[in-house]
Amino acid sequence: MTWQIATLPEAISYSPLNLRVLTTSLLRRDLFDARFQLLTKDSERSEEKEDATPEGEEEEDYVDAQTDLIPGFYEGGLKTWEGGVDLVETIAESLSPVKEERDQKVGEWARGGKVLEVGCGTALPTAFLLRSLLSLPPSETPTRTVFHLQDYNSLVLSLVTLPNLILAALPYLPPDVLRLPQEGDEPIETVVPDMELPGNLSLNEDLIAAFKSLLEERGIDVKFSHGHWEGLSKELEQQDEKYGLVLTAETIYSPESTPALIGVLREAIGKQAGNAGHKQVQLESGLGSLSVQEAWATAPLAEITRGHALVAAKVLYFGVGGDLQTFVETVEKDGAQTSTVKHWSQGVGRKVVQVGW
């Protein structure tokens, strides 16, 4: 994450996202603040970015456009979409029925596992997993936890993905790095932020160093990838990378990109030998119905030998052609098994679907 760290601003503003399934809000960088960073970079930081970013200034224009989607250029990664929140709720409720125990239970389940978030954007699901993992005492075992985050746009990774991971770690960083510079010759003030209120965070060198040290001390590896899914599939195939859990939200809206997405899921999870045919399992209908016995949640990620994907999506994407039923049918033709883990019937219908081979 060297390039992402190099392009961080001096400070960010953030707001809490209060979720009914959690006792403590998730913090996320403000959208206006991320866009403002693109407009106000000083010349030195611009020169650094021209040397480092793979896409350069052209990508800035697309990411800063006043639209949520420019096919082939910008895929809406700066905004927080419902699907990301749905994944957080699904993971939290599946692993513990007790609200106050969810961070601990999720952390214990994720420790030592390998997680890939595809089309991560603001990366709320991974941020939740990271925060939950950091809430645990340090492990005495050497097993490392891997979080791999992928987005189409490299700028999205530096503008919102990494900042949100830093915000997830905020409660576990040394208080002396959480500081706000005062005007004039006044001493630097250490401020421990209220996690339930909007605020500003100085991304000083000490804080970044403390964040990196915290990850290393807890045995956590964070990896970033960007670009087309075809490239990610080849990368996974060449490196023989397999993951216990793959998360993806709001990524099936384009029928043209569905085969590439399925290719990533298949390569990341691993297609089981002799797994022919497919089966779709439908849970009983109702608002927010949930099965806590889904295969992905029955064992700690470190012990999983057969990975699964959780796909969060709207039932229908008006105006862009994608729909969940077509995705399910397509992935099942590839030999996958699917099951509806949770769904919401109010408003535009949404589901979280489990996929595995």
Q: Tell me: pLDDT of 65 over 80.
A: no
pLDDT of 305-343, one tens digit each?
889 999 999 999 876 678 999 999 999 999 999 999 999
Averaged over 296-301, what is the pLDDT? 89
Q: Is the pLDDT of residue 293 over 50?
A: no
Question: What are the phi and psi torsion angles at 312 (to 5°)?
Answer: -100, 130
* Residue 182: band (very low, low, confident or very high) from pLDDT cuts 50, 70, 90: low
Domains held by the chain: number: 1
The average confidence (pLDDT) of the chain is 84
Buried residues in 56-68 as b, exposed as e (16+ CB within 10 A): eeebbebbbeeee
Q: Can you say whether residue 14 is alpha, beta or left, with left for phi > 0 and alpha for psi between -120 and 50 degrees? A: beta
> How do residues 124-146 score in pLDDT, each as one tens digit?
999 999 999 999 999 887 789 99
The answer to whether residues 124 and 141 touch, using CB atoms and an 8 Å cutoff, is: no
Give the closest residue to 285 by CA, choosing from 328, 349, 332: 349
pLDDT of 184 strictly over 60: no
| Residue 64, pLDDT score | 55
More confident residue, 347 or 275: 347
Amino acid identity at 356: G
Give pLDDT, residue 292: 35
Q: What percent of the chain has pLDDT over 70?
A: 78
| CA distance linking residue 261 with residue 258, whole number of Å | 5
Q: What CATH number did the domain enclosing 201 receive?
A: 3.40.50.150
Distance CA 305, CA 318 (A): 38
- pLDDT computed for residue 126 by the predictor: 99
Average pLDDT over residues 218-222: 97
Q: What are phi and psi of 12, to 5 degrees?
A: -135, 155
Q: Mean per-residue pLDDT for 142-156?
A: 93
Confidence of residue 67 (pLDDT cuts 50, 70, 90): low
Which pLDDT band holds residue 84 (cuts at 50, 70, 90)?
A: very high
Give the range of the structural domain holding residue 73, as residue numbers without chain letter: 2-356
Query: What's the pLDDT score for residue 285?
Result: 40
- Report the distance separating Cα 33 and Cα 96, nearest Å: 34
36-60 pLDDT per residue, tens? 887 776 444 455 545 545 445 555 5
Is residue 281 scored above 80 in pLDDT?
Answer: no
Q: Is the pLDDT of residue 18 over 50?
A: yes
pLDDT tens per residue across span 227-275? 999 999 999 999 888 999 999 999 998 889 999 999 999 999 987 544 4
